[in-house]
A = this chain, B = another copy of it.
Amino acid sequence: MAESALTPEIVELLRRSSTATMTSVLARYGLRNTFLLGVRPLTPGQRMVGVAFTLRYIPAREDLDHTGTVDNLTDPQRLAVERIGPGEVLVIDARGDVRAGVLGAILATRIKMRGGAGIVTDGAFRDTPAIATLGLPAYCRAAHAAANKTVHHPVDFQVPIACGGVAVYPGDVLVGDDEGVVVIPRHLATTVAREAAEQEDLEAFLWEKVRQGASIVGVYPPDERTLAEYRARRAALSS
């Protein structure tokens, strides 16, 4: 997919803004359901920016999935792991079912080695104590020790999926911080990156005023006087 790579500038802009700000920018474009519900960082303190590589699970069926074997050349989970490219995030639709892990530490390591930018699911990971040591951003609803085929059947990848109640299309941009993960439709990625950075700059200014004791009235949201002050400050800084 040619569009798979984000420019380093956009990645950098997205890395600097919070998911809260991006959610607000997306709401301006009419998109109000963009944050994965119930999906939390396994290890706080990391930032994730990447392009969605989707993987879809359905419920396991005993004759297909409880065989105790897995074939790396046909199993969609394994194929997906070996196709993840640099800057991509593996997003797994687990139907919110946390009764088994969707992925463990060895596969997570492989994703990291391939340059993957993170792993995300609305299910559970397994081997979470080990995954937490990898330095790979990981977001999930829970931890569960059981292997994926206990309750899941990986069925296909790079199709549109549901994750945490949000639609994720292959190629969408996923950004994660300690609050969680926001999904940015691919065609809006550049716009959101730029507008979020601008909004963060303005809000940093407003926040500073509030920290210094200003009322929110006239400040948050800013009135014309506050905006003028902000523009003056910004002009002064950039001159």
Contact = CB atoms under 8 A, between A and B. Distances in A.
Given A18-B129, A216-B81, A210 B178 contact: no
A6 interface: no
A121 interface: no
Interface residues of A, number: 86
B27 A147 contact: yes
A188 to B, nearest CB: 9
Contacts of A207: 105-106, 109
A28 interface: yes
Q: How many copies does the complex hold?
A: 6
Nearest to A153: B167
Contacts of A109: 207, 210-211
Interface of A: 18-20, 22-24, 27-35, 37-38, 40, 58-63, 66, 68-70, 72-73, 78, 81-82, 95-96, 98-99, 101, 104-107, 109-110, 113, 126-130, 132, 142-147, 150, 153, 155-156, 159-162, 165-167, 177-180, 182, 185, 203, 206-207, 210-211, 213, 215-218, 220-221
